[in-house]
Amino acid sequence: MVQQVTRSEGSQVIIEVWADLGCPWCYVGKHRLQAAIAQRPDADRFQIVMRSFELDPEAPHEPEKNEESFIRAHGGTAAHVLQAERQMQAMARKEGLEYSLDRLNANTFDLHRVVQYAGDQGRGFEFFSHVQDGFFTGALKPYAPDTLPRVAESVGLDGQRVREILASNEYADRVRADRREALELGATGVPFVVFDRRVAAPGARKAADYGQLLDQAAGPVPSERES
């Protein structure tokens, strides 16, 4: 159950997004959420906070083909996976998003540890979004040794600090705690979005639906209040 809190008009609204790197619906849902926020004249009121949720904690650290990863975790056949991926690609492209079918998946625990560090610096969502967009467009290989430090530097973070984190076990407890908290709030998977601890939205909603949820959490757009 998400706690109900009182929100004063015009104040900042925190939007928590639980997601995982290789989740196609997280990729699409993230862009729909951003589009819904961008449509509001008070878009600067909203702060997206990235939270960690491993969909497959038992995934190997060595990258494997997308279909191999899905079959290992869920069963099925390569043909079924490819069909579903092509349908997802078509849908993503209708929304103006590139979607590469040639992806490799691996364990995302280390990525989430870096996301936690980036969040402490106020850049968690920006960092995760850069990595995920590059992953789904085929522009980068997130599991290559220097990718995460390089992306971190591109969003204003300390690449050397990221290398130190990756060589240690820092932030591991926080990654696990994030996943536990999502489950306690009612998540059964991702994306899972919580608006100001007032409204919870499981699954990837359409941009218009996210817009309605923004209204619930923050009130209607200023023009609607003034009319």
Over residues 182-219, the pLDDT tens digits come to: 999 999 999 999 999 989 999 999 999 999 999 999 88
How would you class 201 by CB atoms within 10 Å of its CB: exposed for 0-12, middle for 13-18, buried for 19 or more? Answer: buried
Residue 1 maps to a domain? no
Look up residue 78 and give its amino acid.
A
Residue 2 maps to a domain? no
Q: Would you mind telling me the total number of residues written for the chain in this entry?
A: 227
Residue 6 maps to a domain? no
Look at residue 111 and tell me whether its pLDDT is greater than 80. yes
Residue 4 maps to a domain? no
Residue 187 maps to a domain? yes
CA angle 220, 192, 205 (to 5 degrees): 55
Number of domains in the chain: 1
- 137: domain CATH number? 3.40.30.10
pLDDT classification of 2: cutoffs 50, 70, 90: very low
Strand blocks (E) in 165-208: 192-195, 199-202
Q: In angstroms, rounded to a whole number, what is the distance separating the alpha carbons of residues 19 and 92? A: 17
The pLDDT tens digits for 150-189 are 999 999 999 999 999 999 999 999 999 999 999 999 999 9
pTM for the model stands at: 0.91
Residue 166 maps to a domain? yes
Residue 5 maps to a domain? no
Asked if residues 137 and 100 have their Cβ atoms less than 8 Å apart, the reply is yes
The pLDDT tens digits for 89-106 are 999 999 999 999 999 999
Look at residue 5 and tell me whether its pLDDT is greater than 90. no
Query: Which domain range does residue 202 map to?
Result: 13-226
Q: What is the pLDDT of residue 9?
A: 59
Q: What is the pLDDT of residue 227?
A: 40
Q: What is the pLDDT of residue 3?
A: 45
Average pLDDT over residues 57-77: 91
In this structure, the dihedral spanned by the alpha carbons of residues 144, 146, 149 and 155, taken in order and rounded to 10 degrees, is -80
